[in-house]
Chain A
Amino acid sequence: MVHVFHYQDHYYIFDTGSSSLHECDEKGALLMREKLGEAVDTSCVTPEERAEYEADFAELEKQGLLFKEEVKVWPPKSNEVKALCLHICHDCNLRCRYCFADEGAYHAKREFMSLETAKKAIDFLIENSGDRKVLETDFFGGEPLMNFDVVKQTVYYAKEQAAKRGKKFLFTLTTNGLLLRDDVADFLNEEMENVVLSIDGRKEVHDAVRKTANGKGSFDLVIENLKNFVKIRGDKHYYVRGTFTSKNLDFSKDVLFLADNGFDSISMEPVVTDIPDLWITKEMIPEICAEYDRLCDAYLKREAEGKGFNFFHFNVDLDGGPCLSKRVSACGAGNEYFSVLPNGDIYPCHQFAGDKEFRMGSVFEGKLDEALRNKFKNSCLFTRKKCDGCFAKFICSGGCSANNYHFNGDIDEPYEITCRMMRKRIENGMHILAVRKAEEEKR
């Protein structure tokens, strides 16, 4: 399929089958929309211009860069496990209003994972990883640093066991920063391949939703810890992850605030919640899309001034990117990626944690519910029928299974609000690619 869109006065044609992006002018976009069957007024195009555009379209088609047939490659049916998310602590020292994890407790009792359970989880991953050499473990919560000693001992144990089997672990940890003391920061900097730091942006925005147990805002308690960690982190991977709600639809200001405070790798995600005064509704989408445009303009301006930063959702790799198999299977939740709760129970991912319908087994049982696993294994881009007509499908991979289930009751039924934001971010990401290419050609 072919998608025509514009960003201000820049017009683009994206070919889904070849993943090629072309830039044209308004008349070219009009003619392509006409070619796609839309009723558009092309009276502004002269016969000579039309002939030139048609010649270009034909040349691109001949090169396989326009109207290229989409290839359907179904993902291989592997039983290898690749990654585990360890819920190292089902408790938290914050009481964020929008927390999908029920302020760390996941709608159950507050609980810490024991070292014994963590070791069993590592054993489970290694035993079920087949020929894979690189395995991943995420330390998640709640707030994982509330159980820091078990994090440390688990890392040492995993490295020791992996070395015996010729494998290697990549560790990630997500933290709100409250307990990020110097000794903790040094350990994370040494052992973690990536560290995710939670902060929502401006102090008043952050404090309105991210509160301590006694109801006070947490911004002043975490900001220096996070800044200090980023200083020692150097070139290693980290990013700050914020959440925006209906209370701060001007979230570009929060992204820029974070950039101004020395954070150069930033993600800002729409809230997923059922709290009426925070949730995102479809009526807000036009305003959110306009905000993504404001962010895109500022992003490019700062880049041109040599003050660029990395914004998670504007990164689109069209020249390279992963293979088709990866593009249609996405995150692998419930098949190659699982969450382990403090008691050892296994779930498809952290967003399904605690929903008994999705309990897949336990690290102490050592086996998985194969019927449930097959449900996830057989789900991919091509089973998400709504995605058939979407230009973003090979970039988005069909949305988040957990979001799809929680909003539509079906892991294969994409959630339209998320889809609309994703499509907008991808269009902006493509515009950024075009601007960068034009700048390169000038130099």
Chain B
Amino acid sequence: MNKIKTVARPQITGCGECRSVGNQSCERIQ
């Protein structure tokens, strides 16, 4: 990779533990 730098590459569905989207984090994953 010479020309392009990856800034973010993301590594459970629907457990419902998270708070009542873009800035939220999954509490279970944390």
Question: A22 within 8 Å of B by Cβ?
Answer: yes
B14 with A75: CB separation less than 8 A? yes
Q: Measured between C-beta atoms, what is the minimum distance from B17 to chain A in Å?
A: 7
- Select which of A19, A25, A321, A325 is within 8 A of B14 by beta carbon: A325
A28 with B7: CB separation less than 8 A? no
B-side interface residues, number (CB < 8 Å): 28
Q: CB-nearest residue of chain B relative to A54? A: B3
Interface flags, A301-339, vs B, CB<8A=1, else 0: 000000000001101111111111111001110001100
Known contacts A22-B7, A324-B13; is-contact A316 B22 (Cβ 8 Å): yes
Instruction: For chain B, residues 1 to 25, give those with C-beta under 8 angstroms from any C-beta of chain A.
Output: 1-25
Q: Measured between C-beta atoms, what is the minimum distance from A168 to chain B in Å?
A: 12
- Select which of A21, A76, A426 is within 8 A of B8 by beta carbon: A21
A sample of 12 more A-B contacts (CB under 8 A), given A321-B24, A321-B26, A323-B26, is A21-B6, A25-B3, A28-B3, A313-B23, A315-B23, A317-B24, A318-B7, A318-B8, A320-B26, A322-B21, A331-B20, A397-B22
| Interface class of chain A by DSSP | mixed
B10 with A22: CB separation less than 8 A? no
Chain B binder among A113-121, A407-415, A429-437:
A429-437
B1 with A59: CB separation less than 8 A? yes
A22 with B20: CB separation less than 8 A? no
For residue A56, which residues in chain B have a CB less than 8 angstroms away from its CB? Answer: 1-4
Instruction: For chain A, residues 13 to 61, give those with C-beta under 8 angstroms from any C-beta of chain B.
Output: 13, 18-25, 28, 49, 52-53, 55-57, 59-60
B23 with A23: CB separation less than 8 A? no
Question: A150 within 8 Å of B by Cβ?
Answer: no
A65 with B9: CB separation less than 8 A? yes
A317 with B4: CB separation less than 8 A? no
For residue B11, which residues in chain A have a CB less than 8 angstroms away from its CB? Answer: 319
For residue B21, which residues in chain A have a CB less than 8 angstroms away from its CB? Answer: 321-322, 326-327, 330, 395-397
A19 with B7: CB separation less than 8 A? no
A21 with B7: CB separation less than 8 A? yes
For residue B17, which residues in chain A have a CB less than 8 angstroms away from its CB? Answer: 134
Q: Measured between C-beta atoms, what is the minimum distance from A67 to chain B in Å?
A: 14
Known contacts A53-B3, A56-B1, A320-B29; is-contact A78 B8 (Cβ 8 Å): no
Instruction: For chain A, residues 154 to 179, give those with C-beta under 8 angstroms from any C-beta of chain B.
Output: 170
Question: A83 within 8 Å of B by Cβ?
Answer: yes
For residue B3, which residues in chain A have a CB less than 8 angstroms away from its CB? Answer: 24-25, 28, 49, 52-53, 56
Can you give 11 A-B contacts (C-beta < 8 A)? A19-B8, A23-B5, A82-B16, A82-B20, A132-B16, A312-B23, A315-B23, A317-B25, A320-B26, A321-B26, A322-B25
Question: A136 within 8 Å of B by Cβ?
Answer: yes
Q: Measured between C-beta atoms, what is the minimum distance from A373 to chain B in Å?
A: 17
Question: A73 within 8 Å of B by Cβ?
Answer: yes
Question: A80 within 8 Å of B by Cβ?
Answer: yes
A265 to B13 CA separation, bound complex (whole angstroms): 29
A271 to B25 CA separation, bound complex (whole angstroms): 27
Q: CB-nearest residue of chain B relative to A392? A: B22
A320 with B30: CB separation less than 8 A? yes
Q: CB-nearest residue of chain A relative to B29? A: A320
A298 to B30 CA separation, bound complex (whole angstroms): 30
Q: CB-nearest residue of chain A relative to B25? A: A320
For residue B22, which residues in chain A have a CB less than 8 angstroms away from its CB? Answer: 315-317, 321, 395-397, 426, 429
B4 with A22: CB separation less than 8 A? yes
A433 with B10: CB separation less than 8 A? no
